[in-house]
Amino acid sequence: MNETLPISITRKGVNLLKFLRPVLGAIILLFIVYRLSQVLFVQHTYGPETWTRLIIAGLIIGSVYALIAIGYTLVYGILFMINFAHGEVMMLGAYTCFFVFEAFKNIKVGTDPVLTFSNAYPVVSIIIAFILGMSVSALTGYLLEKIAYRPLRKAPRLVPLISAIGASIFLQNAAQLLFSPQLRDVANPEILARGAGWKILINGSSVTIPYTGVFTFLLSLLLLVSLYIVVQKTKFGRAMRAVALDKKTASLMGIDVDRTISLTFLISGALAGAAGVMWGIHNSMVYYYTGFIPGIKAFTAAVLGGIGNLPGAMLGGLFLGIIESVGPAALGIDFQLKDVVAFLLLIVVLTFRPSGLLGEVLAEEKV
Amino acid sequence: MKTTAVRSLRTGLTFGAVNVFLILIGFNAMIGILLAKALGAQVITSIPAVPYLAAYTGLIGLWSGLSAAWKCKGTGVACSVLAGFISGLAAGAITFLFCLGIGWLLVSRIDFRNYLTILSFDFISGVLMGFPPLSGALVNLGILAASGATGGLLNGAVHVSCGKRLGQHITAWVRTVTGKVRGFNHGKGHLAFQIGGIAILAAAVIFLPLNWGSYWNYVAGTVGLYVILGLGLNIIVGLSGQLVLGYIAFFAIGAYTMALLNSPVPHNLMWGFWPALVLGVLLAALAGLLLGLPIIRLRGDYLAIVTLGFGEIIRILLKSDVLTDFSGGPRGIQNINGPTLFGRPFNSDIQFMYLIAVAVVLAAFIYNRLQRSRTGRAWLSIREDETAARACGVNATRYKLLALALGAAFAGLAGAIYASRNQFTGPEEHSLMASINVLSLIIVGGLGNVPGTILGAFALKGLPEILREFANYRLLTFGALLVFMMLSRPDGLIPSRRPVYRTPEESKPDGNEPEGNNVS
C-alpha cells in the first residue's frame, strides 16, 4: 500500500526497509536451501516412508485447520473482527462427538451382549454425531453473535475483540466446570477404529493411511466445496457477499443484514462443529482446552491465505498443516519446534506479502 | 399487555436456562456456602444445607422477576407483579423439567458424574431440597415463581414510592455524583483536587506496604508490574494504534535477561541487579525494533497475528529442549538474586513494593510526557489515519518503530523486576494468556490513559486475588465480566478524552466528543 504514496518513498526509513527486505529474503532462502540439502542429500536423516507419513499427517490436520479457518474468514469478511471464541465453538463440537459416541456405546442392540449401537449401525451413529455436533456448535456461534457481538457492531474495533476473548475464556471454563478437566477418549465405532488403515509398503517399511484420516480429509474437502458453491451460487451467498462489501447499500437493496450475519455465524459454527467432531474421531483427545491451539493455528492459516478470502483460507489451512508437519524434518530441527516453524512461516509470508498469499489489498476502511 | 407477557416469558426462559447452567457448574452450592458463612453457620460438606440452597433459588427468582418488571412497559404495580410472576414461572418451568431429569437419575441410581462432573447423588438431592423428584421439582418451581412475583412487587413498590423505576433512579444518582466530581476536577478546585489526590496516593504508597503483610504486598506488587506493562502496551496500542497480541514476549526477554545474568544456574554470571535491569530494558527495546522492522508495513489484524506468533515462538523456544542448556528449558530458572542498593540487599516484599512503586511512577511520568509531546501527537495522527499522517510529513515508519521499541522497553523493565522479585521465571509465565490479560486490562480500564490503566490493572489482577472465595469460578466470572464490560462500557471504565483544540475567543467549556477512542 505504501507504493501509492510517493512522499514516503523518499524517506530514509523506508529506503532502509526496501533494502532490508530482499536481503532478509535472500538470507532466509539460503538458509532453507542449505538445511534442505543437508537433510536430503548429505545426512539422509529420513527415508521416503517418513516423508510420506509426515505429508499424510499434514494433509489431515491441514484439512481440519482449513475448516476452522473458513469460520474465521467468513466472520472477518463480514464484520472485520477476529472471532476469538471460534476455537471454543469447535471444542464444543468435539465434546458433542464424545457424548454421542459414549451414549451409543452404552446402548445395547438385540440379544448380543457385546454388540453396541455404534457398532451395529456405525454410519447412522456417525451421521448423528455430525448432525448434533454441527448443530451444537452452530447454535453456540449464533448465540455468541447475538449476545456478545451484535450490540458492539458500531464500537471501535478492539472492543468486539475483547468481548470475543471474554467469551472464549467463559466457554473454556464453563466446559471445564461442566465436564471436568480430564482428558476424554472418544469411543469410535469399529469401522473407524483409530490406528487402523490401509497399509502400503514404501522402502521396505509399511506406512499406514488411517481410515479416520482419509474420512476427515475427504469430508472436509466435501464441506469446503459445498460451502464454496453456497457462497458463489445461491441467493444467500450473494447476500453474504453483498453484506461483506457494503452493509448499508446491501440493506438498501432489501437484504436483511442482521439475518445474513446470524446465518454466517450459524454456518461458520457448523463448520467448526464438523471440525470438532473430526478432531474427536481422528485425534480422540477431547478436553476443555482442545479448541485453543487449533483455533490459533486456523486463524494463522486464515491470515496466511489472506483473511476474508475463502479459497485463501482453504489453501492456507492445508499449507500450514503440511508445513508444520514436514517443516521440522525438512529443516532438520527438533519436532518440538513445529509451532515455531508454523509461526515463522507466517511472519516470513506476511513480510513479503502483507495481505496473505491470496489476499487482495483491502480498502483503507477495512484494515 | 400482551407484549409485556411475551417479553417476561422470554426473560423467564433465559433465566431458567441460566439457572440450569449455574446449577450444573455447582454455582448454587457455592452461593449457598457463602450465605451460610455470612450467617455464621458451620459448613462442613461441599453442599450446603437445604435452606441456603432454597435461598439461592429465591435470589435467582427475585432477579428474574426484577429484570422482567424492569422492562415492563405498563406502569401499575399489578402489571409489574404479573411480569415478575410470569418470568419466575417460566424460569421455574425450565428448572422443573431439569429437576425431573436429574431426579430420574437419582431414582434409578445412574451415576452421571463421569459426564457432568457435579451430579453426585448428594448434590441432586440437595437441588431437590431433600424431597422426592416430583415434589422437589415442584418446590423449585414454587420458589422461583413466588420470588419472581416478589421481585415484580419490589420493583413496582419502588416505582410507586420514588416516581421512577429503580434502575433509572440509581443511574440518575450515579450520573449526578460523577458529574459533580468531574465538575470539581475542571473548575477552580482543579489544582487543589490534584494536589490532594496526589498527597493521598503518596501517603498510601508510603505507609500501606509497611502495614499490609507480605501477601497483600505481593498482590499489590503484581498489580504495579501490570500497570507498567499496561502503560507500555498503551504506547503501542493506545497511542500509535498498532494491535500487538504477543506483548508478553518482551516481558519474557526482560525476565530472562535478569534471570540469566543473576542466577547461579545455568551460567553463574552474577552481574548484579542494576546492570541486568538496564540490559533487560535495552534488549527488550531492541527486540521490539527487530520485530518491527520487517512487519511495519502490516496493519490491523495482520500485525496482531504476527506478533501473536512472535510471542508463541519465544515461549516455545524457551520451553523446548533445544535451549535447555542456555535457558533452563521447561523448568525455568530458579534462585535469581535480588537487587542491592548502597550495599543493602532487598529481601522483603516491602522493599520490592517500594521499588515497584518507584518504577510505576517513573513509567507513568514517561508515558504522560510522551503522550503530550510532539511524538505523542505524531502517534495520534498515525492512529487516526496513517495515510493522512504520512501526507502531512509524519514519518510513520519511524514513529511506529519508536512506539514498538518504547513499549517493549516498558515490558522489559516490568519483566526484569518480576523475575527478580519472584526469584523464578519459567516459560509458562509468558503464555499467550498473559498477553491477552494485559490487552484486556488496558481496554477495560480505558485505552490510552494512565488512570484507566491503573484501574484496569486493579480490576483484572487485583480483584481475582481478592475474590479467592470464588476459586473455581474466577476465570469463568472473568470471561463473563469482560463481555459484560464491553457491552456496557465499550470505552472502558475511564474513557480517554480526545485532545481538543480551543481558541481563546471560543470559551466553550468542554468540547469533548462523546466518541472516545477510535483505534482503526
Amino acid at residue number A282: H
- Is residue B213 included in any domain, yes or no? no
Contact (CB<8Å) B24/A178: yes
DSSP character string of B123-186: HHHHHTTTS-HHHHHHHHHHHHHHHHHHHHHHHHHHHHHHSS-HHHHHHHHHHHHHHHHHHHHH
Q: How far apart are CA A128 and CA A122, in angstroms?
A: 10
Using the predicted structure, report yes or no on whether residue B454 has a pLDDT greater than 50.
yes
Mean pLDDT computed over every residue of chain A: 83
**pLDDT band for position B73 (cuts 50, 70, 90):** low
- The answer to whether residues B227 and B374 belong to one domain is yes
Using the predicted structure, report yes or no on whether residue B206 has a pLDDT greater than 80.
no
Cβ neighbours for B465, distance < 8 A, ≥ 6 positions apart: B219, B222
pLDDT tens string B40-63: 777 667 777 777 888 888 888 888
- The answer to whether residues B157 and B253 belong to one domain is no
**pLDDT band for position B504 (cuts 50, 70, 90):** low
- What is the reported pLDDT for B316? 85
- Is residue B386 included in any domain, yes or no? yes
List the CATH number of the domain containing B280: 1.10.3470
- Is residue B187 included in any domain, yes or no? no
Amino acid at residue number B150: T
- The answer to whether residues B341 and B239 belong to one domain is yes
- Beta-strand runs (E) in B239-341: 333-334, 340-341
- Is residue B119 included in any domain, yes or no? yes
Q: Note the ipTM here.
A: 0.80
- The answer to whether residues B147 and B243 belong to one domain is no
Q: Which residue has the higher pLDDT, B491 or A210?
A: A210
- What is the reported pLDDT for A112? 74
Mutate to test the interface with B, among A84, A162, A180 (most CBs of B within 10 A): A162
SS3 A197: strand
Is B3 an 8 Å CB contact of chain A? no
Using the predicted structure, report yes or no on whether residue A362 has a pLDDT greater than 60.
no
Q: Is omega for the bond preceding B132 within 30 degrees of 0, making it cis? A: no
Q: Which of A286, A291, A103, A292 is nearest to A179 (CA)?
A: A286
**pLDDT band for position B148 (cuts 50, 70, 90):** confident
As a whole number, mean pLDDT of residues B420-439 equals 84
Cβ neighbours for B453, distance < 8 A, ≥ 6 positions apart: B227, B230, B231, B234, B441, B442, B445, B446
Question: Among the ranges A110-114, B131-135, B502-506, which has the highest mean pLDDT value?
Answer: B131-135
- Is residue B185 included in any domain, yes or no? no
Of all residues in chain A, what percent are helix, strand and coil, respectively (each to 5)?
75, 5, 20
- The answer to whether residues B149 and B19 belong to one domain is yes
Mutate to test the interface with B, among A80, A185, A340, A353 (most CBs of B within 10 A): A340
- The answer to whether residues B346 and B456 belong to one domain is yes
- The answer to whether residues B443 and B356 belong to one domain is yes
Count of beta carbons in the 10 Å neighbourhood of residue A294: 26
Q: How far apart are CA B61 and CA B124, in angstroms?
A: 20
- The answer to whether residues B448 and B307 belong to one domain is yes
Q: Give the Å distances, CA to CA, from B229 to A64, B262, B276, B456.
A: 36, 22, 18, 11
- What is the reported pLDDT for B185? 58
Which domains are seen in chain A, by residue range? 45-366 (1.10.3470)
- What is the reported pLDDT for A267? 92
| A82, A170, A355: residue with CB nearest B479 | A170
As a whole number, mean pLDDT of residues B68-89 equals 77
Q: How far apart are CA B474 and CA A223, in angstroms?
A: 38
Q: Are B485 and A151 in contact (CB under 8 A)?
A: no
Phi then psi for residue A201, to 5 deg, are -95, 120
Contact (CB<8Å) B313/A340: yes
| A177, A296, A367: residue with CB nearest B299 | A367
Q: How far apart are CA B28 and CA B37, in angstroms?
A: 14
Tell me which chain A residue has its CA closest to the CA of residue B312. Answer: A340
- Is residue B8 included in any domain, yes or no? yes
Question: Counting beta carbons within 10 angstroms of the beta carbon of residue B513, is it exposed (0 to 12), middle (13 to 18) or buried (19 or more)?
Answer: exposed
- What is the reported pLDDT for A1? 41
Tally of domains within chain B: 2
Mutate to test the interface with A, among B483, B484, B517, B519 (most CBs of A within 10 A): B483
- Is residue B246 included in any domain, yes or no? yes
| Set of cell numbers at residue A87 | 476455537
- The answer to whether residues B306 and B431 belong to one domain is yes
Give the percent of chain A with pLDDT over 90: 18
Q: How far apart are CA A100 and CA A97, in angstroms?
A: 5
- The answer to whether residues B159 and B24 belong to one domain is yes
Question: Counting beta carbons within 10 angstroms of the beta carbon of residue B212, is it exposed (0 to 12), middle (13 to 18) or buried (19 or more)?
Answer: middle
- What is the reported pLDDT for B186? 60
- The answer to whether residues B276 and B139 belong to one domain is no
Using the predicted structure, report yes or no on whether residue A30 has a pLDDT greater than 90.
no
Contact (CB<8Å) B300/A157: yes
- Is residue B37 included in any domain, yes or no? yes
pLDDT tens string B218-260: 888 888 999 999 999 999 988 888 888 889 999 999 999 888 8
Contact (CB<8Å) B313/A303: no
Q: C-alpha angle B202/B206/B212, rounded to 5°?
A: 125
Domain coverage including residue B146: 2-163
Contact (CB<8Å) B475/A299: no
Q: C-alpha angle B320/B323/B328, rounded to 5°?
A: 90
Using the predicted structure, report yes or no on whether residue B286 has a pLDDT greater than 90.
yes
Q: Which residues of A touch B390 (CB under 8 A)?
A: 5, 7-8
Q: How far apart are CA A253 and CA A359, in angstroms?
A: 27
Q: Give the Å distances, CA to CA, from B87 to A38, A167, B107, B151, B414.
A: 72, 26, 30, 10, 50
Q: Please name every residue paired with A118 in a beta bridge, in sequence order, or none if there are none.
A: none
SS3 A205: strand
- The answer to whether residues B259 and B372 belong to one domain is yes
- What is the reported pLDDT for A141? 93
